[in-house]
Amino acid sequence: MNSPNNLSGKVVLITGASSGIGEATARHLAARGAQVSLAARRLDKLTQLVADITQAGGQAPAFATDVSQRPQVEALVQQTVAAFGRLDVVFNCAGVFLLSPLEAQHYAEWEQMIDVNLKGMLYTIGAALPHFKAQGSGHFINVSSIAGHFVYPASAVYSATEFAVRAVSEGLRQEVKPYNVRTTILSLRSLAAGVAARPRRGLQMP
């Protein structure tokens, strides 16, 4: 039995759209009639995705965005609203997954995970929430991980960012309910593609 399609015409902003889960989600939603606004740093990847979606009859502007840079995220949300006149869903999928034991002192990687996984999501929420409030509707979908529930050897900093994503999502859920804004968190397990498929110094999450 086919489920009713309530995606037609919905405007969905997807961060981390240049590969993996974000890209697959963009293709899936566009094929079901959603208008997708695509964000990531690699514009060449986004350009190919835009071409594929457009060729299939969809609509998908792309915006080169580093989510760790707040002004870029604010511009992304403004440009999306300007392009479509509204914003229905934010799919917060940009993320980096870098395993190492704390004693290895990979400070740059710690900072990158905090900047992208946590601050990037916060910047997107901060930029989109005023539009959702003004509309009286909206939906944040925050992509997280089982590492937001459990800590494994070498996952301390990644897990810390994913625990934080869960805390922010729960706080957001409580705060925005009165505005008819919904919040969903996806706690994913390792998939065969995307961040989990890349070598990380021989370390693996269960």
Ligand X SMILES: NC(=O)c1ccc[n+]([C@@H]2O[C@H](COP(=O)([O-])OP(=O)(O)OC[C@H]3O[C@@H](n4cnc5c(N)ncnc54)[C@H](OP(=O)(O)O)[C@@H]3O)[C@@H](O)[C@H]2O)c1
Binding residues (CB under 6 A) for ligand X: these are: 15-22, 40-42, 45, 65-68, 93-97, 116, 143, 145, 188, 190-191, 194-196
3-state secondary structure of 163: helix
Measured from the CB of residue 162, what is the shortest distance to ligand X in angstroms?
Answer: 7
CB 187 → ligand X: shortest distance, Å? 8
Query: 84 or 91, CB closer to ligand X?
Result: 91
Identified catalytic residue from 107, 152, 158, 179: 158
User: Which backbone phi and psi does 39 adopt, to 5 degrees?
Assistant: -135, 140
What's the CA angle centered on 142, arms 100 and 187, to 5 degrees?
A: 60
Is 158 assigned a catalytic role? yes
In this complex, which beta carbon is closest to ligand X, that of residue 134 or of residue 197? 197
Is there a contact between 70 and 59 (Cβ–Cβ < 8 Å)?
no
Cβ–Cβ < 8 Å for 94, 22: yes
Q: Nearest distance from residue 48's CB to ligand X, in Å?
A: 12
Our CB check for ligand X shows the closer of 135 and 190 to be 190
Helix (H) or strand (E) holding 132: helix 121-135
The residues carrying an active-site annotation are: 158
